[in-house]
């Protein structure tokens, strides 16, 4: 890298106080008080030193450190709520700081070298962009996974009766998870009944109904019975309009009704006590 | 060739499948079972598939065949101990095992057949 950029740029960078000072000034203007000048100076001072080392000595370890430092800055800026362009622009500001120095001296050769230097800074700026999107993608992937786990709990309602409160849209992947979790829990707890509550499912179409039917059939094959509850008026209308047949599967309007049905079917009798 | 043992508990015949089922084994099992039902006058057949973790359509059909066959001889069939993965496979294959009753485990299967355990029965 050092050979391509040329000695004149390195010489300009030697004047650390002036170039770094101008760079910090430009960046501080851009961030408009969201981080203090002192913080900017510490961050950029570190970067500046590393850029200098890489350009002047062709130092391999400095190149690695520089990229790590940039990634760190990009990540912390992302957390502070800066947009990726703002982070990248603060790196690009170094070009302007150097360019102004060349303009002051008015040298022809330095301009040629400045083109190469500009390419080098662009590369660094783009790297902050990449780090930013990689960080965001990681966050999204984590959230998707958490959502899948959160959204499919299987709870015990009574001895031998499980409840599955479904919330959110049902797609094939989720149904698969629900089906597997539910069936495994039925085996583990030796439960005879499962109540699938779809109060939180925003819409039921033929696909969702198909998924529900499959789950119920699989549970039935294992010798257990499923009751579907939480069918709201609009959903009941949609189901009839679409001509979906739930066959002989028991459906109830509310979770309470379904629980009462399951209790009665498993031979539990509820008696009102004195406190009621 | 391996044979699947058929055990008699009271008025129930218990078939516990512990081996990989070959077509030939299934054929022999069906013949043995039919013969035992007639000889013992059993009223129920329990097929325990707790140890089975791979099924295909052939085995799925076997359950239905055994159930229909037993019903002709007045014995009820219950399949017990099906694993979740097996149930999902059967549903995906579109097999609903019509005419076969199922239960979670052996105990529930026996209760389903209305049979008391042999120790409680009158020493049969």
**DSSP codes, A162-202:** EEEEEES---HHHHHHHHHHHHHHHHHHT-SEEEEEEEE-S
8 Å CB contact between A54 and A10: no
- Strand pairing class (A161-167; B101-103): unpaired
Mutation for A interface: B51, B63, B88, B92, most A CBs within 10 A: B88
Nearest alpha-carbon partner for A221 in B85, B31, B1: B85
Cβ-Cβ contacts under 8 Å, B86 against chain A: 221
Backbone conformation region of residue A229, classed left if phi is above 0, alpha if psi is from -120 to 50, else beta: beta
Nearest residue of chain A to residue B82 (CA atoms)? A222
Tens of pLDDT along B52-86?
A: 888 888 888 888 889 999 989 888 899 999 999 99
Distance of CA B93 to the CA centre of its chain: 20
Edge-to-edge strand list for the sheet holding A161-167: A155-158, A161-167, A193-200, A225-229, A250-251
CB-nearest to B104 from A179, A184, A186 is A186
pLDDT value for B112 = 86
Which residues belong to CATH 1.10.490 in chain A? 2-144
Residue B121 pLDDT exceeds 50:
no
Residue in the structure block whose two tokens are 């209760």? B111
8 Å CB contact between A164 and A189: no
Pick the CATH number of A2-144 from 1.10.10, 1.10.490, 1.10.238, 1.20.1740: 1.10.490
Q: Where is A147: in which H helix or E strand?
A: helix A108-150
pLDDT more than 70, % of chain B: 92
Question: What is the distance in angstroms between the Cα of B104 and the nearest Cα belonging to chain A?
Answer: 5
Cβ-Cβ contacts under 8 Å, B84 against chain A: 179-180, 183-184, 186-187, 218, 222
Strands (E), chain B: 6-9, 12-16, 44-48, 76-80, 101-103
Cβ-Cβ contacts under 8 Å, A265 against chain B: none
pLDDT value for A262 = 93
Edge-to-edge strand list for the sheet holding B101-103: B6-9, B12-16, B44-48, B76-80, B101-103
Number of domains in chain B: 1
pLDDT value for A151 = 67
pLDDT value for A203 = 80
CA distances from B86 to A55, A83, B82, B83 (A): 64, 50, 6, 5
B-side interface with A, Cβ within 8 Å?
78-80, 82-84, 86-88, 90-92, 96-97, 101-105, 108-109, 112
Q: Do A218 and B91 touch (CB under 8 A)?
A: yes
* B119, part of any domain: no
* B122, part of any domain: no
**Mean pLDDT score across all residues of chain B:** 85
Nearest residue of chain B to residue A183 (CA atoms)? B84
Residue B22 per-residue DSSP state: P
For B8, phi then psi, to 5°, come to: -105, 125
Q: What would the mean pLDDT of B19-48 be, rounded to a whole number?
A: 90
Q: How many Cβ pairs within 8 Å bridge chains A and B?
A: 55
- Weakly modelled stretches of chain A, pLDDT under 70: 1-6, 105-106, 150-151, 276
Cβ-Cβ contacts under 8 Å, A219 against chain B: 87
- Name the band, by pLDDT with cuts 50, 70 and 90, for residue B120: very low
pLDDT value for A2 = 44
List the structure tokens of A208: 């969702």
Tens of pLDDT along A94-138?
A: 888 888 888 776 677 777 788 888 888 888 888 888 888 888 888
8 Å CB contact between B13 and B48: no
Q: What CATH number is attached to the domain comprising B67?
A: 3.30.750.24
pLDDT value for A4 = 52
Mutation for B interface: A223, A224, A226, most B CBs within 10 A: A223
* B60, part of any domain: yes
pLDDT value for A94 = 86
Pairwise CA distance, residues A238 & A233, whole Å: 9
* B100, part of any domain: yes
Q: Do B82 and A224 touch (CB under 8 A)?
A: no
Which residues belong to CATH 3.30.750.24 in chain A? 155-265
Domain that holds residue B36: 6-112
Question: What is the distance in angstroms between the Cα of B66 and the nearest Cα belonging to chain A?
Answer: 16
List the structure tokens of A198: 């779809």
Q: Do B84 and A190 touch (CB under 8 A)?
A: no
Q: Cα torsion for B67, B55, A213, A167, to the nearest 10°?
A: 140
CA distances from B66 to A117, A178, A188, B59, B75 (A): 82, 32, 28, 11, 10
Dihedral over Cα of A214, A220, A226, A232: its sign: positive
**Mean pLDDT score across all residues of chain A:** 84
Pairwise CA distance, residues B1 & B8, whole Å: 22
Whether the ipTM is more than 0.90: the answer is no
Cβ-Cβ contacts under 8 Å, A191 against chain B: 104
- Check: CATH 3.30.750.24 for A155-265? yes
CB atoms within 10 A of CB A65: 17
pLDDT value for B123 = 44
A-side interface with B, Cβ within 8 Å?
179-180, 183-184, 186-187, 190-192, 214, 217-224
């Amino acid at each position: 890298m050092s050979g391509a950029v040329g000695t004149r740029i390195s010489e300009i960078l030697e004047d650390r106080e002036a170039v770094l000072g101008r760079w910090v000034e430009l960046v501080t203007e851009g961030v408009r008080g969201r981080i203090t000048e002192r913080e900017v100076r510490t961050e950029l001072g570190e970067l500046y030193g590393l850029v200098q080392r890489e350009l002047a000595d062709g130092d391999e370890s400095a190149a690695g450190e520089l990229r790590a430092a940039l990634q760190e800055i990009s990540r912390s800026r992302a957390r502070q709520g800066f947009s990726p362009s703002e982070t990248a622009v603060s790196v690009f500001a170094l070009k302007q700081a150097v360019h102004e120095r060349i303009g002051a001296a008015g040298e022809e050769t330095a301009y040629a070298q400045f083109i190469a230097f500009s390419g080098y800074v662009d590369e660094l700026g783009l790297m902050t962009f990449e780090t930013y999107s990689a960080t965001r993608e990681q966050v999204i992937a984590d959230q998707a996974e958490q959502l899948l786990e959160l959204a499919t709990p299987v709870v015990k309602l009574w001895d031998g009766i499980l409840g599955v409160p479904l919330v959110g849209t049902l797609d094939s992947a989720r149904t698969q998870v629900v089906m597997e979790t539910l069936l495994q829990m039925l085996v583990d707890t030796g439960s005879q009944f499962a109540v699938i509550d779809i109060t939180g499912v925003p819409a039921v179409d033929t696909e969702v109904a198909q998924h529900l039917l499959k789950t119920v059939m699989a549970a039935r094959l294992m010798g257990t019975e499923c009751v579907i509850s939480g069918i709201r008026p609009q959903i009941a209308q949609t189901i009839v309009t679409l001509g979906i047949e739930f066959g002989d599967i028991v459906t109830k309007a509310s979770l309470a009704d379904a629980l009462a049905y399951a209790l009665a079917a498993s031979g539990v009798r509820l008696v009102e006590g004195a406190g009621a | 060739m391996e044979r699947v043992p058929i055990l008699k508990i009271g008025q129930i015949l218990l078939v516990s499948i512990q081996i990989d089922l070959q077509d030939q084994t299934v054929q022999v099992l069906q013949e043995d079972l039919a013969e035992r039902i007639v000889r013992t006058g059993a009223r129920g057949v329990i097929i325990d598939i707790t140890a089975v973790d791979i099924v295909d359509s052939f085995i799925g059909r076997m359950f239905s065949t055994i159930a229909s066959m037993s019903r002709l001889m007045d014995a009820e069939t219950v399949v017990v101990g099906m694993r979740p993965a097996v149930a999902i496979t059967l549903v995906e294959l579109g097999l609903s095992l019509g005419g076969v009753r199922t239960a979670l485990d052996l105990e529930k299967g026996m209760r389903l057949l209305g049979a008391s355990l042999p120790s409680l029965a009158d020493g049969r």
